[in-house]
Chain A
Amino acid sequence: MAEYTLKLRRYDPQSGEAPYYEEYRVDLEPHRSVLEAILKVKAEQDGSVGIRCSCRAAICGSCGVRINGRPGLACHTHLDKAAQTGVNADGSTILVEPMGNMPVIKDLIVDMDAVHWKKIQRVTPWLINKQPVPEREYVVPHENMVDVTQSMACIQCGACVSDCLSMEVDPEFVGPAASAKAYRFVGDPRDAEQYERLKDLAEDPHGIYDCTHCFTCIDACPKGVAPMNQIMRLRRIASNDHHIVDRNNGERHERTIVGLIRDYGLLHEAEMLPRSYGGYSWFAKFHPAAGAELLDSLPSITRAIARGKVNIKQAALGHRIPKADLTAVQGIYEKVEGKARRYELNLYISGYEDEEEAPAAAEAPAAVAAGGDAMPSAPGPDPQQPTSASESESA
């Protein structure tokens, strides 16, 4: 037995009182879960503590909370581990708070309907069958279905939504969980509307290009869904396979960085902004959209020049790597970009070689690795047919 101090954030919006923290002492084995500690407090010390839970086995996704500042499942976090987690960890105190980015209903219970489920509904979370629907089952490539299993592993606990840093400043952002759900159907070869789904999420000012790539959702997820990685795949298919040039500069920004590195070897920062707004050309700075943005940024630009941060010659010409190296880099671009299908390694599927002894983890990956030409590439449509109209799989 070990003694832990459970520090719970208490709040009842209907009471009119401000939130406060209340401490409870709990004796439990260190390998017991934070949820068990909360339920013990509720049963033996204070029945008014509000917590939502069901399966107690990390499958129903009901008990998402923040533990010592990090989002996770209360039933999936051991007490000893929890007490050692976080910046202010002292080995015995466990701070439990409701998830963030969602309104609190009571204590540790948040309103999932108001945020999480609305966003899930927003991405049309069901399969839109390709027509004609086959008489019997669809036949789809094995690797495509393995590919979407990562996003299918989501248990809708909301841990990623809780700590999404983009949503913190832009509550309208579609967010990590819904984006992962979107990929589940974008990556499904039976779905008829890959293009429409992507166009919708790329054009939305709070869609896939609103993600700041901060990795918070990857660490938050108790099921390894890695929502941010799914967002990057949505972007990849939207821009490369469907050539969706969105109003948010997402596609142009990608093309600008990729292009500048091909042409200079290094980022030519002064060209990044105009080309992200005006398109990939030296003349982009005269494009009206780029002009408006440059004007808006003029105070920053003049200050940078005044402070000697940026010298005008370098801003105009950029910096580049030596010629022989630039030629080599461009050779790599030609070789890789010239391929008919993208070649990718998905570590979620393939696992790590050193860990192949671990039985369950290695089974599936080995099968997939042997199946295709190396790893299967992203399940985008064939580059030769850059729309979703291809029906070749639905034999």
Chain B
Amino acid sequence: MKVAYWPGCVSRGFTPELHGSMAAVAPLLDIELVELDRACCTGAGVIAEHNQELADTLNARTFALAQQVQGAELMMNICSTCQGAQGECQERLDANSEYREAINGNLAAEGLSYEKGLTNKNLLWLLVEEIGLESLKQKVKRPLTNLKVGPFYGCYIVRPRDRLGIDDEHPRDAYLHWVIEALGGTVIDYAGVHKCCGFPIVTMNKQASLRQAGRHLSDAQDAEADCLVVPCPLCHLNLDLQQPGAAKAVGRDDLAMPVLHLPQLLGLALGLEPKQLGMSKHVVKPTSVIDWSSAVVGAPAAA
């Protein structure tokens, strides 16, 4: 399937392994990525906090660019924060035609216009709702046998439930559990699964921010997870890049919890090598903590 792909800023900046691993797994999932390289940052909620009209206009511009991609079935995100920030703007744009017209007026200079009803999904939602777990299972070349994975969703794709369309029929707050199982891994439930990584306040209250990250990492480690998987690069910054500081903030000098991006976990199961997925770029190197020869079995013939 062809998708208008919004990679976000951080996946091309401080977590380049996310964008890279997404590009590597896309062909294995039959996803054709058309990168929205003209679009600007979603504002991560902060522009909306500053000026709602500005955030809505900038994101409407991105939506309009996505709607221009010929043959794309939908727009896809690999960042929970982008997904949530865009979802908030789209909710307002779709709710009120007068408002939408006014916002489109701001885009007129470029000849762009957003039409109500864009489908915009995070990779996680796309895996379950478009590709399907059965189809995903069939693509698995190396089941994640013996790998105990703690899901960490990130706030923006689990709340607010109404806006995100989470209900009994679409339990999107359970999808990451399902995907881990479909890839042959074992889900580790721990207290922090749906909690906040703390990243948004890292410049305002660093101690509280790192305590949040440290607490979830500790809970996962105490529940005997081998690694966490996140669909959000901002969570990754606080959980991986800041992990030494987070460990200090909660007084745990034994913390060593690898944190994988969702496409990296997919890539491993679909037969790619840790190195191809940029896993050496993490602060807590997954390769040094996890024994891949026992955690990922049945290497593909070519490897």
Q: Please tell me if B161 contacts chain A, counting CB pairs below 8 Å.
A: yes
Give the docked Cα–Cα distance between A14 and B81 (Å). 45
Does more than half of chain A's interface fall in helix, strand or loop, or is it mixed?
Answer: helix
Q: Return chain A residues, CB-CB under 8 Å to B23.
A: none
Whether the pair A215, B159 counts as a contact (CB closer than 8 A) is yes
Interface size, chain A (Cβ < 8 Å): 80
Give the docked Cα–Cα distance between A137 and B27 (Å). 68
Closest to B158 in A: A215
Q: Which of B123-131, B280-288, B289-297 contacts A (4 or more CB under 8 A)?
A: B280-288
Q: Which of A43-51, A146-154, A234-242 contacts B (4 or more CB under 8 A)?
A: A234-242
Chain A window 336-352, contacts with chain B (Cβ cutoff 8 Å), 1 for yes, 0 for no: 11010011110100111
A256-277, CB < 8 A from B: 257-258, 261, 265-269, 272-273, 276-277
Whether the pair B13, A277 counts as a contact (CB closer than 8 A) is no
Q: Please tell me if A369 contacts chain B, counting CB pairs below 8 Å.
A: yes
Q: Please tell me if A37 contacts chain B, counting CB pairs below 8 Å.
A: no
Chain A window 341-370, contacts with chain B (Cβ cutoff 8 Å), 1 for yes, 0 for no: 011110100111110000000000000010
Q: Return chain A residues, CB-CB under 8 Å to B168.
A: 84
Give the docked Cα–Cα distance between A249 and B202 (Å). 10
Q: Please tell me if B303 contacts chain A, counting CB pairs below 8 Å.
A: no
Q: Return chain B residues, CB-CB under 8 Å to A326.
A: 40
Whether the pair B54, A337 counts as a contact (CB closer than 8 A) is yes
Whether the pair A266, B159 counts as a contact (CB closer than 8 A) is no
Give the docked Cα–Cα distance between A197 and B112 (Å). 41
Whether the pair B174, A300 counts as a contact (CB closer than 8 A) is no
Q: Return chain A residues, CB-CB under 8 Å to B30.
A: none
- Picked from B9, B49, B51, B283, the residue with its CB within 8 Å of the CB of A336 is B51
Chain B nearest CB, measured from A81 CB (Å): 10
Assuming A240-B50, A331-B109, A352-B95, is B41 touching A267 (CB within 8 A)?
yes
Give the docked Cα–Cα distance between A253 and B199 (Å). 13
Chain A window 218-236, contacts with chain B (Cβ cutoff 8 Å), 1 for yes, 0 for no: 1100000000000010011
Q: Return chain A residues, CB-CB under 8 Å to B47.
A: 257-258, 261
Q: Please tell me if B148 contacts chain A, counting CB pairs below 8 Å.
A: no
Q: Which of B134-142, B203-211, B256-264, B266-274 contacts A (4 or more CB under 8 A)?
A: B203-211
Whether the pair B13, A299 counts as a contact (CB closer than 8 A) is no
Q: Chain B contact residues (Cβ within 8 angstroms of A): what range?
A: 35 or more
Scoring B9, B43, B168 by chain A CB atoms within 10 A of each residue's CB, the highest score goes to B9
Whether the pair A300, B241 counts as a contact (CB closer than 8 A) is yes
Q: Please tell me if A212 contacts chain B, counting CB pairs below 8 Å.
A: yes
Chain B window 1-34, contacts with chain A (Cβ cutoff 8 Å), 1 for yes, 0 for no: 0000000011011111100000000000000000
Chain A window 51-92, contacts with chain B (Cβ cutoff 8 Å), 1 for yes, 0 for no: 000000000000000000000000000000000100100000
Q: Please tell me if B96 contacts chain A, counting CB pairs below 8 Å.
A: yes
Whether the pair A333, B54 counts as a contact (CB closer than 8 A) is yes
Chain A nearest CB, measured from B159 CB (Å): 3
Whether the pair B46, A375 counts as a contact (CB closer than 8 A) is no
B183-241, CB < 8 A from A: 189, 193, 195-196, 198-201, 203-209, 211-212, 215, 241
Whether the pair A300, B211 counts as a contact (CB closer than 8 A) is no
Q: Please tell me if A128 contacts chain B, counting CB pairs below 8 Å.
A: no
Per CB-CB distance, the 6 closest pairs between chain A and chain B, nearest first, are A215-B159, A214-B196, A267-B9, A276-B203, A169-B211, A170-B208
Given A84-B168, A214-B195, 15 more pairs with CB closer than 8 A: A87-B193, A212-B196, A218-B160, A232-B48, A240-B50, A254-B50, A267-B44, A307-B282, A307-B283, A322-B37, A332-B54, A337-B54, A343-B102, A345-B52, A352-B95
B interface vs A, CB < 8 Å?
9-10, 12-17, 37-41, 43-54, 56-58, 61, 84, 91-92, 95-99, 102, 106-107, 109-110, 155-156, 159-161, 168, 174, 189, 193, 195-196, 198-201, 203-209, 211-212, 215, 241-242, 244-245, 280-283, 285
- 12 pairs, CB–CB < 8 Å, chain A vs chain B: A165-B195, A168-B195, A205-B205, A212-B199, A216-B159, A218-B160, A236-B51, A258-B51, A266-B41, A273-B203, A307-B283, A332-B61
